[in-house]
């Protein structure tokens, strides 16, 4: 951990009676990062965020934000944080503009400044045409954008986004992700939780994989991928193999796992040169016919699978 | 004051509901006055539709019919039991006197009672019984004093034309009648509870939304200050609704109301009811988390209390059991105070104590309801 950490969480423990939600969680997030918190449902992501925001009391450990201890009455710190909740948190009775203005008012007193910030947030989230509408009339994607606008309108130094793209169509999701990257480019540090690995891989500069309230691995996407054994996955379709041949494939250099189902062979190999050539030569030597062949580099899903032993969507 | 302004903005969005309730209230209050106001124009002797079936045809029988005709409306009816039954069933006639043959001998000099048919349980029937007895007794006395039967009958009828002058005791400065503004104040609890519980309930449900609450707790405004602003909003809305409600008696019955020496007490009574309604509104918003439920719950509370505590039906008419139960509801104490003010222009010492007790009970109810709501709210927060 360095002294330039924007957030430092050390040995955080949070229990709900017998359930340990956070088990000595330790994390540090630096200024300028888009930090991804990746974990399945119930892994402790939201609990960790609630503790960071001092919305929840924890049993053990410490949290410092901007170098200061975070407490429920740390309003100077809270002033510099924007929160985008997992659920849309707006007033049904107010229009888009009124909602954004209201939540901006919780941070900014000056009316003129607030007006200009609200206009910026409306433009940034593409809600200009919908400013007079009530949330009930907005589509799911627009609602999410309104939710984001309410969280970022006061231009916070740190933005915490708890699964902001849940139940959003792909087009709106892309728009939201582009917006997040833009916010980061404008100087905000972002903590982003999700169980969509492609999103995290796409926008996060550093990622922590959490499960059972513990950090299992931290690093950039590349660093995480290097932590696992899988260097490459080769998939071969429409192939007929008997047990002898399967055993032979399993015995090839760098192969450490394979599955064969519905005439599809998936071979997981450790990082090495010419893996694909070696496999294709083997098939040629044994005169085995096959359909499409493709090779994939490891994804975060592979990382997660190997580290936690389960799919992220479990 | 962002939270306060937000509170008022959401109130503005619910204003149509407030006006709807005010319209309902005005309609009920004015309709009630129209219905009761006409009958309250001083003392008026009871008059019924009655029938006299004369099987005797003598002087005494005709005299009795003439005597009763002075007080009541005589309806022609054939001497047919099925027709009598029908007319009575449809309340076209309330009392039927059948004068038997030899009426004079059997009823005046003998002990036989006149056969009468009347609507069961009718109080007015008893009144006609008394008039018949009076007539027969008077004729009997006159005849015994030496008058001929014809003279005795004529004399009794003549004497009965002298009517007593009845003056109502004017305890309240409105000729003993319930003043119209008192009728309006009788209905005010319904409107106060309905409007405040509905509008404030809807607003607080919006603020109690867990996600909105979380977002607000993350903000730079301390939670305590946010709550203060919400309380301020509550009080402001309460005062505005109270002013609107109390403005109506001023607008509709200006002079009468302004000149009523009890005016400040009426206003104080309704203000205390506003406090009770605000507490109820807070309790409702604590218990309910969905908009759709508000209307149902508010109707149960406002209509339930109104029917049980004498808002729609006078307390005097309500059964003893209902009144005993109503004592556990705040509106009962409001109505007691309102009745006291409506019936008395100046209050005796005992009445003043009674009025203060009614006020105190409302305050206690407001505090108790608020206390329960705060406990529930705290338990929910820590659960």
Whether residues B124 and B259 fall in one domain: no
Q: Which domain holds residue B93?
A: 49-160
pLDDT of residue B38: 43
Contact with chain A for residue B9, Cβ under 8 A: yes
pLDDT of residue A314: 42
Q: Dihedral sign, CA of A190, A7, A109, B207?
A: positive
Average pLDDT over residues B233-257: 87
Q: Which domain holds residue A282?
A: 229-297
Whether residues A155 and A235 fall in one domain: no
Whether residues B317 and B225 fall in one domain: yes
Average pLDDT over residues B313-336: 88
Contact B6 A94 (CB under 8 A): yes
Paired with A123 in beta bridges are none
Task: Give which of B16, B218, B226 to mutate to test A binding, by max A Cβ within 10 Å.
Answer: B218
| Closest alpha carbon within chain A to B221 | A106
Contact with chain B for residue A18, Cβ under 8 A: no
Contact B214 A94 (CB under 8 A): no
Domain count for chain A: 2
CB A46 within 8 A of CB A124: no
Q: Which candidate from B9, B214, B219 shows the least CB-CB separation from A106?
A: B219
Whether residues A208 and A236 fall in one domain: no
Among residues 334-353 of chain B, which lie with CB inside 8 Å of chain A? none
- Give the CATH number for residue A87: 3.40.50.300
Q: At what angle do helices A140-152 and A111-124 cross, to 10 degrees?
A: 140
Chain B residues lying within 8 Å of A90, measured CB to CB: 212
Among residues 190-209 of chain B, which lie with CB inside 8 Å of chain A? 206, 209
Distance CA B189, CA B185 (A): 8
pLDDT of residue B242: 92
Whether residues B359 and B257 fall in one domain: yes
CB B152 within 8 A of CB B139: yes
pTM equals 0.71
Contact B219 A87 (CB under 8 A): no
Model ipTM value: 0.78
Whether residues A271 and A209 fall in one domain: no
- Is B227 part of a structural domain of the chain? yes
Tokens of B256: 């009468």
CB B265 within 8 A of CB B197: no
Contact B211 A89 (CB under 8 A): yes
- Is A302 part of a structural domain of the chain? no
The rounded radius of gyration (Å) of the Cα atoms in chain B is 30
Contact with chain A for residue B289, Cβ under 8 A: no
- Give the CATH number for residue B155: 3.40.1710.10
Q: Which candidate from B2, B10, B211 shows the least CB-CB separation from A87?
A: B211
What is the helix (H) or strand (E) element at residue A265, kind and residue range?
Answer: strand A264-270
Distance CA A15, CA A57 (A): 10
- Is B165 part of a structural domain of the chain? no
| Closest alpha carbon within chain A to B211 | A89
Tokens of A76: 């100077």
- pLDDT (tens digit per residue) in A33-88: 999 988 888 888 889 988 998 888 889 999 999 888 888 888 889 999 999 988 88
User: What band does B39 get if pLDDT is binned at 50, 70 and 90?
Assistant: very low
pLDDT of residue A198: 82
User: What band does B42 get if pLDDT is binned at 50, 70 and 90?
Assistant: low
Whether residues A146 and A76 fall in one domain: yes
Strands A5-16 and A60-65: antiparallel
Q: Which residues contact B66 (CB under 8 A, 6 or more apart)?
A: B157
Distance CA B360, CA B363 (A): 5
Contact B10 A93 (CB under 8 A): yes
Whether residues A282 and A164 fall in one domain: no
Whether residues A158 and A233 fall in one domain: no
- Is A303 part of a structural domain of the chain? no
CB A238 within 8 A of CB A292: yes
3-class SS at A232? Answer: strand
Which phi-psi region, left, alpha or beta, contains residue A24 (left: φ > 0; alpha: ψ -120 to 50)? left
Q: What are phi and psi of B285, to 5 degrees?
A: -70, -25
Listed residues B118, B133, B160: the one ending a domain: B160
Per-residue tens of pLDDT for chain A, all 314 residues: 455 688 999 999 999 888 888 999 999 999 889 999 888 888 888 899 889 988 888 899 999 998 888 888 888 899 999 999 888 889 988 999 999 999 999 998 888 999 999 998 898 888 889 989 999 998 888 888 899 899 989 889 999 998 888 777 777 788 888 888 988 998 889 999 887 888 888 889 899 988 888 988 888 888 888 777 777 888 988 788 888 888 888 888 888 888 888 889 888 888 777 788 888 888 888 888 888 888 888 887 778 877 777 655 54
Report the 10 Å Cβ neighbour count for B136. 19
Whether residues B111 and B25 fall in one domain: no
Listed residues A176, A196, A225: the one ending a domain: A225
Q: Dihedral sign, CA of B125, B128, B132, B134?
A: positive
Q: Given a cut of 80, is residue B203 above it in pLDDT?
A: yes
CB A158 within 8 A of CB A79: no
Average pLDDT over residues B264-275: 94
pLDDT of residue B36: 62
| Closest alpha carbon within chain B to A71 | B218
Q: What angle do CA A285, A289, A295 make, to 5 degrees?
A: 85
Nearest C-alpha neighbor of A87 from the set A168, A18, A147: A147
pLDDT of residue A158: 92
Whether residues B177 and B134 fall in one domain: no
Report the 10 Å Cβ neighbour count for B375. 11
Paired with A161 in beta bridges are A84, A192
- Is A12 part of a structural domain of the chain? yes
- Is A20 part of a structural domain of the chain? yes
Whether residues A32 and A157 fall in one domain: yes
Nearest C-alpha neighbor of B275 from the set B333, B220, B318, B225: B333
Contact B9 A93 (CB under 8 A): yes
3-class SS at A258? Answer: strand
Distance CA B98, CA B103 (A): 10
Contact B6 A92 (CB under 8 A): no
Q: Given a cut of 60, is residue B6 above it in pLDDT?
A: yes
Nearest C-alpha neighbor of A65 from the set A25, A12, A8: A8
How far apart are the CA of A174 and the nearest CA of chain B, in angstroms?
24
- Is A136 part of a structural domain of the chain? yes
3-class SS at A256? Answer: strand
Distance CA A162, CA A25 (A): 18
Q: Given a cut of 90, is residue B271 above it in pLDDT?
A: yes
Q: Which residues contact A256 (CB under 8 A, 6 or more apart)?
A: A229, A268, A269, A270
- Is A77 part of a structural domain of the chain? yes
Distance CA B347, CA B234 (A): 34
Whether residues B192 and B290 fall in one domain: yes
Nearest C-alpha neighbor of B337 from the set B174, B191, B185: B185
User: What band does B176 get if pLDDT is binned at 50, 70 and 90?
Assistant: low
Distance CA A32, CA A157 (A): 9
Q: What percent of chain B has pLDDT over 70?
A: 92
Listed residues B127, B160, B193: the one ending a domain: B160
Whether residues A113 and A245 fall in one domain: no
Contact with chain A for residue B5, Cβ under 8 A: yes
Q: Please report, for residues A251, B6, B9, B331, the alpha-carbon distance to residue A94 in angstroms, rounded to integers and kept in the order given.
A: 66, 9, 8, 35
Q: Please report, for residues A314, B46, B115, B122, B130, the alpha-carbon distance to residue B125 in angstroms, rounded to integers and kept in the order given.
A: 84, 11, 13, 5, 9
- Is B65 part of a structural domain of the chain? yes
Chain A residues lying within 8 Å of B14, measured CB to CB: 93
Whether residues A133 and A275 fall in one domain: no
Beta-sheet strand order (sheet of A293-296): A255-261, A264-270, A230-236, A293-296
Nearest C-alpha neighbor of B311 from the set B61, B16, B24: B24
Domain count for chain B: 2
Residue A242 buriedness (CB in 10 A; 0-12 / 13-18 / 19+)? exposed
User: What band does B243 get if pLDDT is binned at 50, 70 and 90?
Assistant: very high
Distance CA B324, CA B267 (A): 26
Contact B2 A87 (CB under 8 A): no
Q: What are phi and psi of B42, to 5 degrees?
A: 90, -170
Residue that the structure tokens 């009795």 belong to: B64
Whether residues B186 and B153 fall in one domain: no
CB B98 within 8 A of CB B117: yes
Contact with chain A for residue B220, Cβ under 8 A: yes
Whether residues A180 and A51 fall in one domain: yes
Whether residues A282 and A219 fall in one domain: no
Q: Given a cut of 70, is residue B174 above it in pLDDT?
A: no
Whether residues B139 and B61 fall in one domain: yes
- Is B88 part of a structural domain of the chain? yes
Contact B218 A83 (CB under 8 A): yes
How far apart are the CA of B13 and the nearest CA of chain A, in angstroms?
6
- pLDDT (tens digit per residue) in B58-110: 888 888 888 888 888 888 888 888 888 888 888 888 888 888 888 878 777 77
Tokens of B85: 């039954």
- Is B44 part of a structural domain of the chain? no
SS (H, E, C) B247-299: HHHHHHHHHHHHHCCCHHHHHHHHHHHHHHHHHHHHHHHHHCCCHHHHHHHHH
Contact A91 B6 (CB under 8 A): yes
Average pLDDT over residues B328-334: 94
| Closest alpha carbon within chain B to A91 | B206
Q: At what angle do helices B2-13 and B180-208 cross, to 10 degrees?
A: 120
Residue A235 buriedness (CB in 10 A; 0-12 / 13-18 / 19+)? middle
Burial B190-212 (b: 16+ CB within 10 A, else e): bbbbbbbbbbbbbbbbbbebeeb
Whether residues A43 and A64 fall in one domain: yes
Q: Given a cut of 60, is residue B282 above it in pLDDT?
A: yes
- Is A304 part of a structural domain of the chain? no
Whether residues B101 and B15 fall in one domain: no
Whether residues B110 and B181 fall in one domain: no
| Closest alpha carbon within chain A to B223 | A73
**H-assigned helices in chain B:** 2-13, 15-37, 59-71, 81-89, 103, 123-144, 149-160, 180-208, 210-217, 223-259, 263-287, 291-308, 320-326, 330-343, 349-382
User: What band does B37 get if pLDDT is binned at 50, 70 and 90?
Assistant: low
- Is A311 part of a structural domain of the chain? no
- Give the CATH number for residue A278: 3.30.70.100
User: Mean pLDDT score of chain B, rounded to an integer?
Assistant: 84
Whether residues B120 and B223 fall in one domain: no
């Amino acid at each position: 951990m360095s002294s330039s950490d924007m957030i430092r969480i050390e040995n955080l423990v949070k229990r709900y009676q017998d359930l340990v939600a956070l088990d000595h969680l330790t994390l540090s997030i630096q200024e300028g990062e888009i930090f991804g918190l990746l974990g399945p449902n119930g892994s402790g992501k939201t609990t960790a965020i609630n503790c960071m925001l001092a919305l929840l009391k924890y049993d053990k450990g410490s949290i410092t934000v901007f170098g200061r201890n975070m407490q429920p009455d740390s309003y100077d710190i809270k002033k510099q944080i924007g929160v985008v909740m997992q659920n849309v948190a707006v007033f049904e009775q107010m229009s888009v503009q009124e909602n954004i203005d209201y939540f901006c008012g919780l941070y900014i007193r000056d009316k003129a400044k607030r007006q200009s910030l609200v206009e910026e947030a409306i433009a940034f989230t593409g809600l200009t045409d919908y400013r007079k509408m009530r949330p009930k009339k907005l589509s799911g994607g627009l609602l999410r954008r309104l939710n984001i606008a309410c969280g970022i309108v006061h231009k916070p130094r740190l933005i915490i986004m708890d699964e902001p793209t849940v139940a959003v169509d792909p087009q709106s999701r892309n728009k939201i992700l582009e917006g997040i990257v833009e916010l980061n480019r404008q100087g905000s540090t972002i903590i982003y939780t999700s169980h969509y690995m492609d999103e995290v891989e796409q926008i996060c500069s550093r990622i922590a994989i959490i499960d059972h309230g513990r950090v299992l691995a931290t690093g950039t996407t590349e660093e995480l991928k290097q932590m696992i054994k899988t260097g490459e996955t080769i998939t071969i379709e429409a192939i007929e193999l008997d047990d002898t041949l399967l055993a032979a494939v399993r015995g090839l250099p760098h192969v450490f796992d394979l599955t064969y189902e519905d005439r599809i062979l998936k071979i997981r190999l450790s990082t090495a040169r010419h893996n694909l050539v070696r496999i294709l030569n083997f098939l040629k030597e044994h005169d085995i016919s096959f359909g499409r062949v493709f090779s994939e580099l490891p994804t975060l899903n592979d990382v997660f699978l190997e580290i936690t032993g389960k799919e992220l969507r479990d | 004051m962002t939270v306060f302004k937000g509170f008022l903005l959401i109130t503005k969005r619910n204003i149509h509901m407030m006006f709807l309730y005010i319209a309902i209230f005005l309609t009920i209050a004015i309709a009630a006055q129209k219905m009761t106001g006409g009958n309250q124009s001083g003392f008026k002797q009871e008059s019924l539709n009655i029938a006299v079936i004369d099987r005797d045809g003598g002087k005494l029988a005709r005299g009795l019919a003439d005597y009763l005709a002075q007080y009541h409306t005589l309806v022609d009816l054939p001497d047919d039991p099925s027709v009598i039954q029908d007319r009575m069933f449809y309340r076209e006639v309330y009392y039927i006197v059948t004068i038997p043959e030899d009426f004079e001998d059997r009823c005046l000099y003998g002990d036989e009672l006149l056969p009468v048919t009347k609507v069961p349980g009718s109080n007015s029937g008893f009144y006609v019984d008394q008039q018949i007895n009076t007539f027969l007794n008077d004729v009997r006395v006159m005849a015994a004093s030496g008058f001929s039967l014809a003279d005795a009958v004529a004399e009794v009828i003549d004497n009965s034309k002298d009517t007593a002058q009845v003056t109502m005791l004017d305890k309240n400065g409105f000729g003993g009648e319930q003043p119209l503004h008192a009728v309006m104040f009788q209905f005010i609890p319904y409107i106060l509870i309905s409007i405040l519980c509905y509008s404030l309930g809807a607003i607080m449900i919006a603020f109690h939304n867990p996600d909105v609450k979380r977002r607000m707790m993350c903000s730079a405004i301390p939670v305590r200050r946010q709550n203060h602003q919400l309380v301020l909003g509550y009080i402001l809305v309460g005062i505005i609704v109270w002013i609107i409600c109390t403005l109506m008696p001023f607008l509709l019955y200006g002079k009468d109301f302004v000149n009523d020496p009890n005016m400040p007490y009426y206003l104080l009574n309704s203000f205390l009811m506003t406090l009770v309604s605000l507490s109820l509104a807070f309790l409702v918003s604590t218990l309910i988390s969905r908009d759709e439920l508000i209307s149902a719950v508010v109707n149960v509370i406002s209509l339930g209390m109104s029917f049980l505590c004498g808002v729609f039906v006078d307390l005097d008419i309500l059964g003893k059991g209902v009144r005993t139960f109503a004592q556990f509801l705040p509106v009962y104490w409001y109505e007691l105070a309102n009745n006291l003010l409506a019936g008395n222009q100046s209050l005796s010492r005992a009445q003043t104590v009674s009025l203060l007790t009614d006020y105190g009970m409302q305050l206690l109810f407001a505090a108790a309801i608020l206390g329960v709501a705060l406990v529930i709210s705290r338990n929910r927060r820590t659960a």
